[in-house]
Amino acid sequence: MSKKYIIANWKMLPASWAEAEQILDFVNDHLESRNEKEFSLVFCPPFIFLDEVSNVLKTSHFEHGSSLGAQDVFWEDTGADTGEVSGPMLNKLGVQYVIVGHSERRWKLGESDEIVNKKLKAVLRNEMTPIVCLGEKIRDDNFREFLREQAKKTFSGLNHDEIGKCMIAYEPVWAISTNPDARPDTPESAMESIKIIQNFLIENWELKTEDLPKILYGGSVTSKNIVDFIEKKEIEGVLVGGASVNKEEFVKMLSLVK
Ligand code: PGA
């Protein structure tokens, strides 16, 4: 079985580098205690910590199987774009993965499918892997159509090979831990959505099953349910938000991935 991906999306946390270092030290101690690492770890810290995290990941028990990710990128590679960070800048820092279209950006900041599409192309152009977040806001009668439409606009203009280079994180917005009344999806119902997205890609890009993007699940993943998701062969990893900055909980999750 291929290694599962555990993507730690730290969001706008922790508040200081000292706390970030404590999380990394704690995880490193855990890695030291294991013979085999049956997962690929990707840390996606806030931009300001990327350089420091990159240095830490090059050392000690992080050396094998850990990578650096960013939480966002701007769609232009250069220019007068106040406050933005470009693909070439991230690439130079050693970033290998970039989250695009996270629901917090789509729904809180008004990022449209068209913007996500431009960012996704910027990530590919700069030879990094986009982790493309897709997911419905509410699970109503229309959610299947919503997912197809979101996938259509998000991946618009990409060719067959480019689609295969993406990773998709299926993250139903209602399941993200910071939402009021959040509850994790079940692996079975997440699989239904994942199949909808995969079939849409197969039909529209004539992809073979083996060329499909890797699929992750995200939304209230904790030590209580991580195994239920990753034991599904179609789910190739998890995108973990809140629990990834709680060092005890995060290490507990890692210890369950055998
Ligand atoms: P959560 O966040 O694990 O806190 O639900 C997941 C995400 O937003 O990527």
Q: Which residues contact 215 (CB under 8 A, 6 or more apart)?
A: 167, 168, 169, 170, 194, 197, 198, 234, 235, 236
218 in contact with ligand 1, CB cutoff 6 A: yes
Between the CA of residue 33 and those of 45, 51, 230, what are the distances in Å?
A: 24, 26, 22
At residue 100, the pLDDT reads 98
Query: Ligand 1 centroid vs 248 CA: distance in angstroms?
Result: 17
* CA-proximal residue: ligand 1, atom 7 (nearest): 241
171 in contact with ligand 1, CB cutoff 6 A: yes
| 170: CATH | 3.20.20.70
Q: Are strands 237-240 and 4-9 parallel, antiparallel or unpaired?
A: parallel
Query: Ligand 1 centroid vs 117 CA: distance in angstroms?
Result: 21
219 in contact with ligand 1, CB cutoff 6 A: yes
At residue 133, the pLDDT reads 98
* CA-proximal residue: ligand 1, atom 9 (nearest): 241
Q: Is 236 a catalytic residue?
A: no
Q: Which of 102, 104, 111, 236 is catalytic?
A: 102
At residue 35, the pLDDT reads 72
Q: Which residues contact 201 (CB under 8 A, 6 or more apart)?
A: 151, 155, 163, 207, 212, 213
At residue 64, the pLDDT reads 83
Q: Is 171 a catalytic residue?
A: yes
- The residue whose CB lies within 8 Å of the most ligand 1 atoms, and thus the one to mutate among 71, 239, 249, 250, is 239
At residue 78, the pLDDT reads 98
176 in contact with ligand 1, CB cutoff 6 A: yes
The candidate with the shortest Cα–Cα distance to 76, out of 114, 37, 125, 43, is 125
Q: Which residues of the chain have pLDDT under 50?
A: none
Which residue type occupies 49? F
Q: Which of 111, 136, 171, 236 is catalytic?
A: 171
Residue range(s) defining the domain that contains residue 86: 4-256
At residue 168, the pLDDT reads 98
179 in contact with ligand 1, CB cutoff 6 A: no
241 in contact with ligand 1, CB cutoff 6 A: yes
225 in contact with ligand 1, CB cutoff 6 A: no
244 in contact with ligand 1, CB cutoff 6 A: no
- The whole-angstrom separation of Cα 65 and Cα 82 is 34
pTM of this prediction? 0.97
Tally of domains in the chain: 1
Query: Ligand 1 centroid vs 80 CA: distance in angstroms?
Result: 32
Q: Which residues contact 102 (CB under 8 A, 6 or more apart)?
A: 9, 71, 72, 133, 171
Tens digit of each residue's pLDDT (9 = 90 or more) over 62-81: 888 899 999 999 999 999 99
Ligand 1 atom closest to Cα of residue 244:
3
At residue 1, the pLDDT reads 58
